[in-house]
Amino acid sequence: MSKKDTIPVRVFLPEEKNPKFYYNLMADMPNRPAPYLHPATKQPVGVSDLMGVFVKDLAEQELSSERYIEIPKEVQEYYRMYRPSPLHRAYQLEKALDTPARIYYKYEGQNTSGSHKLNSAIPQVFYNKIAGVKSLTTETGAGQWGTAVAIAANFFGLPLDVFMVKCSAQQKPHRKAVIETYGANVVPSPSNITESGRKILSEDPECGGSLGIAISEAMEAAMGRENTRYVLGSVLNHVILHQSIIGQEAMEQLQMVDEYPDIVIGCAGGGSNLGGMIAPFVRENLAGRASSRIIAVEPSACPSLTRGVFAYDYADAACICPIAKMYTLGHGFVPASIHAGGLRYHGMSPIVSQLYNDKLIEARSEPQTRVFEAGMLFAKTEALLPAPESAHAILAAIDEAKRCKETGEEKVIVFLLSGHGYFDLGAYQNYMSGNAVDAQYSDEMLKSGLDSLPAA
Query: What is the binding site for ligand PLP (CB under 6 A)?
Result: 115, 117, 142, 144-145, 234, 267-274, 342-343, 387, 389-390, 418-419
Q: β-pairing, 68-70 with 21-23? A: antiparallel
Least distance in angstroms from the C-beta of 116 to ligand PLP:
6
**Complex with ligand PLP: residue 36 or 228, whichever CB lies closer:** 36
Least distance in angstroms from the C-beta of 138 to ligand PLP:
12
Least distance in angstroms from the C-beta of 378 to ligand PLP:
14
Least distance in angstroms from the C-beta of 115 to ligand PLP:
4
**Complex with ligand PLP: residue 305 or 317, whichever CB lies closer:** 305
Dist. CA 66–CA 163, nearest whole Å: 33
CA distances from 294 to 85, 282, 283, 337, 412 (A): 21, 8, 12, 28, 12
Residues facing 151 on adjacent strands: none
**Complex with ligand PLP: residue 24 or 273, whichever CB lies closer:** 273
Least distance in angstroms from the C-beta of 270 to ligand PLP:
4
**Complex with ligand PLP: residue 138 or 228, whichever CB lies closer:** 138
Dist. CA 184–CA 163, nearest whole Å: 11
Least distance in angstroms from the C-beta of 349 to ligand PLP:
7
First CA to last CA distance, the chain: 60
**Complex with ligand PLP: residue 274 or 326, whichever CB lies closer:** 274
**Torsion of Cα atoms, 404 then 405 then 407 then 411, to 10°:** 30
**Complex with ligand PLP: residue 355 or 387, whichever CB lies closer:** 387
Which residue's CB comes closest to ligand PLP? 419
Dist. CA 197–CA 219, nearest whole Å: 11
